[in-house]
Structure 1
Amino acid sequence: MSRINEEEVRKALGKKAAYGDDIDMEKYDEGEKDVEQIESLEDTPDDLQKKMINVGVDTDDSEKDGTILFINNAMSHCSNKAQDGLIIMSTQKAMETYSWVKDYYWNAMDPAKDKYTAKTYEEKSDGYFIYVKPGHHLKFPVQTCMMLGQDKSVQNLHNIIVVDDDASCDMITGCTTVHSANDALHVGVSEMYIGENSSLSFTMIHSWNNETAVRPRTNVVMKKNARYVNNYVVLDPVGTIQSFPNAYLNGEGASCSFNTMCIAHENSNIDTGGCAILNAPNTGAEILSRNISYGGRMIARGRLIGNAPGAKAHLECKSIILKDGGMTQAIPELEASCADVEMTHEAAVGKIAQEQIEYLMSRGLTEDEAVSMIVRGFLVGGIKGLPANLQKEIDAAIEKASEGD
């Protein structure tokens, strides 16, 4: 921990983020740390179960290798069905239990990045710790649910995921807000480490309320031949989101894919994207986004940095506007410091073609049904390579969102 400049972190408590609306964190109280312990997911209250299911977290965990539920700022449930190859617990408990966890704690993320990381560091915020042992390939996904249940509060979480060498893991994380916690702030700092010849598929499905502020902070460190897939899905109304995860491809042959699927409803302000830093030879990256404005503000950012020979990467941002008053903006960036790199980008903003709607109506669909089908097809194009055991959650979310307001 001596590597961290404590004075710089304290200064960062007032440091605005590089992108997105500035949030006054002083208006929020710290979220509760004393929450009800839920032994079995089947015992979760009905209203919370509905929220969990809505973000792809299954209360029937028979086909999940692990499950974690955080309510406000404390863990409410933790179960592990793959103990031979998996360690799963809270971050603070992991720090107390295993001395080696300190090697990962605030190592991939600078706590002085901005006010959100600094606050999380200063409060020694808890979160989840997931470690997949070398040579172990999880049969079923690990699922986590981060739930905001307290109005006028901030949920500060610090998560660490380590997939060691020659291992693999699929994760689905559902983040949501109960109805009584509309005006609240979610901050999730996530540090991820992927070992040699290992893979991590990380799918986030978010469903917030229309005044909720969301500030995820994610950095991923990748070794030789590591593979990372990041899927980010936001289809329900939200107040403001700003997310820009970074993947550091430090090992030869590493590859990553960022897939974003967002709908900006009226009064929503969403600023998302991703950055891939290709630091080793023959690395590859792809950043794809599909975004729709139903009257809200939608910014899609993508940045590719090629620092080694043989690096190949592609960036694609596509958006459509379905309601006047909405706004979409694509901001692609390509940066290279090496001659032998190949990076491309494509960006497009438009509307649904009237002839497409008329064609589908001529086949017997109503206008609303035709628009819904086109929207569904557009969104599906935003996520590729999704594990089959996660596809049903995405399909259900798309089906719901394609119906519009």
Structure 2
Amino acid sequence: MNRTMNTTDPLTPEAFGPPEKTPIRLGFVALSDVAPLAVARLFDLGRRHGITLELCRQPSWAAVRDKLLSGEIDAAHALYGLVYGVQSGIGGPQADMAVLMVLNRNGGAITLSNALADAWRATGSLKDAFASLGRAPVLAQTFPTGTHAMWLYYWLAAEGVHPLRDIESVVIPPPRMVDALAEDQLDGFCCGEPWHALAEARRAGRTVALTSGIWPDHPEKVLASRRDFVSLYPNTSRALVQTLLEACRWLDDPGHLGEIAAQLAAPGLLNVPRELIEPRLTGVYDAARFPDALPVRFFDGGTVNYPRASDGLWFLTQYRRWGMLEGAASDDAAIAAAISQTNLYREAAALAGVPLPNEHRSAILCDGRAWDGSAPGAYLAGFDVRA
């Protein structure tokens, strides 16, 4: 692999001094969307910004949380919902958290066992397919407040299945999902790739939904840290965002996605064959099953990475929907605004020559409901299926 790359020389305003902390430990879980961190480390992109990166693979999202809180890692490739769960005190010990930037959109899926997928196809009703088991199906997600739990719950509710009453929801780290499904410990799971591709390759189950079909171009992983890290090391944090913006920009080239897939296959990253990583990383899905599949997006001309408070606010609405978060919702918008490090991102984007997207965006989710962050109370009140 050619280890040289062209980047636009960023401006260096005199207002910003050198990084306060130069070696940075970045946590991650083995998923294909860790690609920006892998690119940044492979090309040593932080060097030009005065930082060095060490990637620290973690066995689970709980381990990422614990090491962020203890300071064993400085920042992490993290579930959007992990950040909001910790901030809210419902996903572990409460701590003030920060989202420095979004690392990607899309890229997750839901896989069911072969028997359950067949039953759904035969009956045309997911609820009837589950009933054919004669027991509550066991479905896994990766963190109680994480993106995968929220995508799974939202999809189930849209399909007429109550996620708190009609299934047994369990937490399993992504790399263990396929074995658990193959050993009949699970009836299905929701997580990121390449674990769905591996499940199909092992004939353990079939992918039945993409998370991009639940919320088209949904936010997925973020660059997260404790908020006091940003306060103590603002120049370091800015340099880290610049570095990962450059990595995401490099991944905008489809040819580069194939290139990094070979690196992701390494034992220290995913330890999964390249041929199982590359197709779905590059947006290749079975067109008969997924005619409207959206690819994982890391940059998309700079539209992906802005840390919108409205994206995070959506997770708070879902926590309230499912009875995970109580109390007044009047502070939710302020909480989301405090987590989203928009000023830091704007500075880093200007230095990296990355255009800023629109502050607001809207989407129609799989149940036909629109979300744009403008009226979270009314949005929450409109759900028929709630805890």
TM range (shorter): under 0.3
Structure with greater strand share of residues? 1
TM-score normalised per structure 1: 0.26
Q: TM-score, normalised by structure 2?
A: 0.26
**Greater relative CO, 1 or 2 (CA 8 Å, sep 6+):** 2
| Structure whose residues are more often helix by fraction | 2
